[in-house]
Amino acid sequence: MTRIDSFKSIIDKYEVVFFDAFGVLKNYGGLLPGIENTFAYLQEQGKEYYIVTNDASRSPVQLAESYTSKGLMAITPDRIISSGMLTKEYLDLKVNDGIVAYLGTPDSAHYIDSSGLHTLPISEVNESNIDRVNALVFLDDEGFDWGRDLNKSVNLMRKRTIPAIVANTDQAYPLTKHDVSIAIGGLASMIEKIVGKAFIRFGKPDSQMFMFAYDLLRERRAISKKDIVMVGDTLQTDILGGNKFGLDTVLVLSGNTQAKDAENRITSTGIVPTYICDSAVVELGGFAF
Amino acid sequence: MTRIDSFKSIIDKYEVVFFDAFGVLKNYGGLLPGIENTFAYLQEQGKEYYIVTNDASRSPVQLAESYTSKGLMAITPDRIISSGMLTKEYLDLKVNDGIVAYLGTPDSAHYIDSSGLHTLPISEVNESNIDRVNALVFLDDEGFDWGRDLNKSVNLMRKRTIPAIVANTDQAYPLTKHDVSIAIGGLASMIEKIVGKAFIRFGKPDSQMFMFAYDLLRERRAISKKDIVMVGDTLQTDILGGNKFGLDTVLVLSGNTQAKDAENRITSTGIVPTYICDSAVVELGGFAF
Amino acid sequence: MTRIDSFKSIIDKYEVVFFDAFGVLKNYGGLLPGIENTFAYLQEQGKEYYIVTNDASRSPVQLAESYTSKGLMAITPDRIISSGMLTKEYLDLKVNDGIVAYLGTPDSAHYIDSSGLHTLPISEVNESNIDRVNALVFLDDEGFDWGRDLNKSVNLMRKRTIPAIVANTDQAYPLTKHDVSIAIGGLASMIEKIVGKAFIRFGKPDSQMFMFAYDLLRERRAISKKDIVMVGDTLQTDILGGNKFGLDTVLVLSGNTQAKDAENRITSTGIVPTYICDSAVVELGGFAF
Amino acid sequence: MTRIDSFKSIIDKYEVVFFDAFGVLKNYGGLLPGIENTFAYLQEQGKEYYIVTNDASRSPVQLAESYTSKGLMAITPDRIISSGMLTKEYLDLKVNDGIVAYLGTPDSAHYIDSSGLHTLPISEVNESNIDRVNALVFLDDEGFDWGRDLNKSVNLMRKRTIPAIVANTDQAYPLTKHDVSIAIGGLASMIEKIVGKAFIRFGKPDSQMFMFAYDLLRERRAISKKDIVMVGDTLQTDILGGNKFGLDTVLVLSGNTQAKDAENRITSTGIVPTYICDSAVVELGGFAF
pLDDT of residue A115: 73
Q: Which of D9, D15, D10, D112 is nearest to D58 (CA)?
A: D112
Contact B141, A250 (CB under 8 A): no
Q: Name the phi and psi angles at C252, rounded to 5.
A: -100, 150
User: Is the pLDDT score of A44 beyond 70?
Assistant: yes
What is the secondary structure of D47-75 as a DSSP string? -EEEEEE---SS-HHHHHHHHHTTT-TT-
| Per-residue model confidence (pLDDT) at position A116 | 78
C contact chains, 3+ CB pairs < 8 A = A, D
Give the gap in angstroms from C-alpha D3 to the nearest C-alpha of chain C. Answer: 15
- Asked if A208's CB is within 8 angstroms of B270's CB, the reply is no
Higher pLDDT, D111 or D66: D66
SS3 content of chain C, % helix, strand, coil (to 5): 40, 20, 40
Closest residue on chain A to B163 (Cα): A270
Which amino acid is residue B5, in one-letter code? Answer: D
- Which residues of chain B make contact with A236, given a CB cutoff of 8 A? 198
Higher pLDDT, B29 or B229: B229
pLDDT, mean over chain A: 93
Q: Is B3 exposed, middle or buried (0-12, 13-18, 19+ CB in 10 A)?
A: exposed
From D183's Cα to the closest Cα of chain B, the distance in A is: 10
Query: Is residue D191 classed as helix, strand or coil in its secondary structure?
Result: helix
**What is the C-alpha to C-alpha distance for residues D40 and B107, in angstroms, rounded to an integer?**
62
Report how far residue C16's alpha carbon sits from residue C25's, in angstroms, rounded to the nearest whole number.
Answer: 16
| pLDDT 10s digits, C224-251 | 999 999 999 999 999 999 999 999 999 9
Amino acid, single-letter form, for residue A4? I
Separation of first and last alpha carbons in chain B:
32
* Amino acid code (one letter) for C118: H
D33 touches D245 (CB < 8 A): no
In this prediction, residue D285 carries a pLDDT of 62
Cα B120 to chain centroid, rounded: 23
Cβ-defined contact of B193 to D171 (cutoff 8 Å): yes
Given an 8 Å threshold on Cβ–Cβ distance, is C147 in contact with A150? no
- Partners of C196 on chain D (C-beta within 8 Å) are 268-269
B273-284: per-residue pLDDT in tens? 999 999 999 987
Using a CB-CB cut-off of 8 Å, the residues of chain D touching B171 are: 193-194
* Interchain proximity A193–C186, CB inside 8 Å: yes
End-to-end CA distance of chain D: 31
| Alpha-carbon span A114 to D107, nearest angstrom | 67
The residues on C that touch D, with CB distances below 8 Å, are: 1, 89-90, 93-94, 157, 161-164, 195-200, 206-208, 211, 225-226, 236, 240, 243-247, 266-272
pLDDT in tens, C40-77: 999 999 999 999 999 999 999 999 999 999 999 999 99
Per cent of chain B over pLDDT 90 is 86
Q: What values do phi and psi take at A232, rounded to 5? A: -155, 170
Residue B193 with chain D: CB contacts under 8 Å: 171, 186, 189
The whole-chain average pLDDT of chain D stands at 93
Q: How far apart are CA B119 and CA B110, in angstroms?
A: 8
Sequential DSSP letters for C1-21: --PPPPHHHHHTT-SEEEE-S
What pLDDT was estimated at residue D288? 41
Query: Which residues of chain D neighbour B176 with C-beta distances below 8 Å?
Result: none
Backbone angles phi and psi of B216, in degrees to 5: -60, -40
pLDDT of residue A113: 84
- What are chain B's domains? 7-54+205-286 (3.40.50.1000), 97-201 (3.40.50.1000)
Largest distance between two CA atoms of chain D:
68
Q: Which amino acid is located at C37 in the chain?
A: N
d(CA C24, CA D59) in angstroms, rounded, equals 41
d(CA A181, CA C148): 10
The full 3-state SS of B116-137, as one line of letters, equals CEEEEEHHHCCCCCHHHEEEEE
Q: Are A229 and A250 in contact (CB under 8 A)?
A: yes
Q: How far apart are CA B260 and CA C183, in angstroms?
A: 34
Chain B with chain D: Cβ pairs closer than 8 A: 62
User: Does B243 sit within 8 Å of A200, measured CB to CB?
Assistant: yes
In terms of CA atoms, which chain A residue is nearest residue C194?
A171
Cα–Cα distance for residue pair D137/D145, rounded to 1 Å: 16
DSSP letter, residue C280: S
Percent of chain C with pLDDT over 90: 86
Per the CB < 8 A criterion, the answer to whether D163 and C234 are in contact is no
- For chain C, residues with pLDDT lower than 70 are 1-3, 285-289
- How many Cβ atoms from other residues are within 10 Å of residue A220's Cβ? 8
Residues of B in contact with A136 (CB under 8 A): none
When scoring B166, B169, B207, B238 by the number of chain A Cβ atoms within 10 A, the one with the most, hence best to mutate, is B207
Which chain D residues are closer than 8 Å to C211 by Cβ? 207-208, 211
Q: CA-to-CA distance for D21 and B173, rounded, in angstroms? A: 40
Whether A17 and A231 have beta carbons less than 8 Å apart is answered as yes
Tell me the per-residue pLDDT of B19-77, one tens digit each, with 9 for 90 and over: 999 999 999 889 999 999 999 999 999 999 999 999 999 999 999 999 999 999 999 99
| C267 touches D195 (CB < 8 A) | no
> Which range among A198-207, A279-288, D133-142, D269-278 shows the weakest confidence by mean pLDDT?
A279-288
User: Residue C136: which H helix or E strand, with range?
Assistant: strand C133-138
Flag whether pLDDT at B207 surpasses 90. yes
